[in-house]
Every structure is written in C-alpha cells, then in structure tokens.
Structure 1
C-alpha cells in the first residue's frame, strides 16, 4: 500500500539507499517461490528498517514474524559487535529458506531462529532488548506489546508494521473485520500507554515507532 502519489513515491525510492544484492536475490526468490510475497518488507521499507537499526545500534533485537527473513537481515545491519537478533515465526516450512539467506549474509552467526507461538517463546528469552519489530498476525499485536514491554530497556524502540492497514483503520469498521478492529485498538493503546511515546509514519502500510520511557 502506497499513500503517496506514485511519482512522489518513485522519487523517494530513487533517492534513497539501494537494495543490497543479497536482499535483491531474496526478494526475487520470495516472489518466485513463496506464497503471499506481499508480506515481504520490500526494498524501501527495508532501507528504513536498516537506517533505524543503525541509528539505534542495538545489542539485542527481537523480531516477531520472520516470513522469509528479509526484515531480519535489514535490522541485523545495525547490530553492535557481538549483538544478537532473535526472530520468531510459526511457519516451519520457511525455516530452511530463512537460514540459507541468513548464512549467506555477514550476520548468520548472530541471527537465532525460534519456531512456534511468540507468546510462548518470548517469556523464555533471557535478554533485555534494545529494538523490537512486530510484524506478525495483527489480532495479537496488543498481546505482543504486553509480552515484550517489560523485556525492553528504557529508551528501547518498538517498531510496529502495517498499522494503517491499507487505510482501513481510518474508515468505518466492519464488525467481522477482526484485524482492523484490533489494529485500531493497538494504535490507541500506543497513543495512551504512559510507558511509551509514539509516532506513526505513513511509510508503505504504516510503521509505528514507539520509545519506552
């Protein structure tokens, strides 16, 4: 979903950092072989994630929702020396696909894959995180927030993807549209929760930056 006029969006992409070669390959193979390739972060948002991670310089990153590993590799670009990225997904069929690209990158030994329900796995992770990226099943965003907020260091950052949901969050909600309803509630939670300060960026399908106070 692009909220900018096409010619402006094209200009923004053209004058931003180029997609690294390995991620170009991952992008192509995802579109060729994997179902629902629109779930991929994509080249421009990937460069945004990379830049934010480099600015934060995290030692420990948590990603909820790996898919084919594109966003994990982007976030890993900002890891400090000896840092770790822990990424969680429920799809067993994508584990080997992810690992192939992780190992082809400079960050293979720093990326740890976790297979299963994030709400079961997060309590078992023995780290205080500097950066968390939430990009999984939308109805659980509120549950993920409550699961990770006490594992985030003061000053740490939560990035939440797809928070504008093709603009549906600003339109009348169908009672049967659970994802939109829960995203609206999630966005309101981030606005009102006194533990974080939040801004929404209209990047692609909406990206929220929340900083723990």
Structure 2
C-alpha cells in the first residue's frame, strides 16, 4: 500500500469518527449487507448516508426518486428528510436482493412512505407522472445519460439532482478512456456542467457525488 493510500484510509477513518452516528436500523442493515451480498461496497455507507440525510432534511422534499435501491441504505437515509405527507419512489430490477431492502423498509419509521418499484428504471420512470424535489441516481453507469434525459423533465425549479460515482475511481481523468462506462460518466459530467438549466458542483466524497440544482 502506498503512502497516499495509507493517508487516504487514515483520513477516511478520521472523517467517519467526526460524522454523526447513523440510526441503529442503518447499522443493522449495513452489517447484513456485508454478510449477505457479494458487492457490499456498493452500499452508500456512513459518510455518504449522512450527506443524503442532511440534504433531504434541508429541503424537506415531498417527492423523492431513487434510481438504484441495492439493499435500501440510501433509501432510508433520504427518507429521513421527507415531508410528513412525502413519498420516496425507489426503483431496482435486482429481485434477488429485494427481500433485504423490503425487510428494513417494513421495520423503519418510513414504511408507509416508501414505494419500492421492482423493474427496469428506463421503463418505470416514464410511468411516474410526478414532479420530484430530489432525485438520487446510483445504478448502472451505462445508462446514466439515459436516466438524466428521462428525469430532467420531471424536475421543477429548485429541485436537486444527486448522482453517485461520478469520479469513477479517478478514471474520469483519462483523456482517452477505454471503458464505455468511463466515457459515459465523463460525458454526463460535461453535459451537466454546460447545461444552463442547472447549477452544479462535484463533491469528492468517496467516489464523487454530482450535486445539481435545477434553476
């Protein structure tokens, strides 16, 4: 392990130690995700989860859309800020993991506010005739551009868009990327940066989070 990697790990541990604790239900979900899934690193985790929670609480959204549920950790973090009559719609096509997220959704304080849609987001998003206050995309990178084009018309002025993994392990710095996923993420970042309908920034938290507000 390089000196840089060692320092990054040390900094990450420091940041987590100075971050508010996650609710007990999320601790249990995170532990079970690591025990029962083959790619537990896909979970949002403590720092990103608290960021999602704080952003949601700041705007108190009535309608949230999440593309990519995984085991439901981010869903529950986002739900913490929902308005009393608010709803979060979360979409995922992986039915094998649905049992885990459904288990924790039902145990949470937000069970009646979560609408878990099992299916392909490209098919399901057009069916949602709703303007969303907050959208979080954390799904297959090959469709990031397609997701953006589908959700943009469903955002009103002041709506927030969050997109995970937009630094793609540093691959976005490659001038001529070989991976198609890298090309798509680079194109998406450029598209949002140049889109006059948005003001944006990229937070270098974990693997990068795109934060864009529709003007």
- Calculate the TM-score normalised by the size of structure 1: 0.95
1:49 to 2:52 alignment: yes
* Cα drift, residue 10 of structure 1: 2.0
Distance 2:129 2:98 in 1: 22
- Calculate the TM-score normalised by the size of structure 2: 0.94
Distance 2:53 2:41 in 1: 19
Distance 1:195 1:141 in 2: 18
Question: CA 1:90–1:3 in 2, change beyond 3 Å: closer, same or farther?
Answer: farther
Correspondence for 1:183 among 164, 170, 185: 185
Contact 1:3/1:202 (8 A) holds in 2: no
SS state at 2:96 partner: helix
Contact 2:158/2:213 (8 A) holds in 1: yes
1:27 to 2:41 alignment: no
Correspondence for 1:79 among 77, 82, 85: 82
User: 1:124-135 to 2 correspondence within 5 Å?
Assistant: 124-135=127-138
1:90 to 2:107 alignment: no
Structure 2 unaligned spans of 5+: none
Bigger relative CO (Cα 8 Å, ≥ 6 apart) = 1
Correspondence for 1:58 among 56, 61, 77: 61
Distance 1:173 1:22 in 2: 43
Distance 1:209 1:123 in 2: 23
1:102 to 2:97 alignment: no
Distance 1:112 1:102 in 2: 10
Distance 1:151 1:189 in 2: 18
* Cα drift, residue 35 of structure 1: 1.9
Question: CA 1:82–1:31 in 2, change beyond 3 Å: closer, same or farther?
Answer: same
Aligned residue pairs: how many? 211
Structure 1 unaligned spans of 5+: none
Correspondence for 1:162 among 148, 165, 169: 165
Correspondence for 1:141 among 134, 141, 144: 144
Distance 1:75 1:69 in 2: 10
Q: Deviations over 1:100-135 (max 9, x none)?
A: 100111001100011111111111112110000000
* Cα drift, residue 4 of structure 1: 7.1
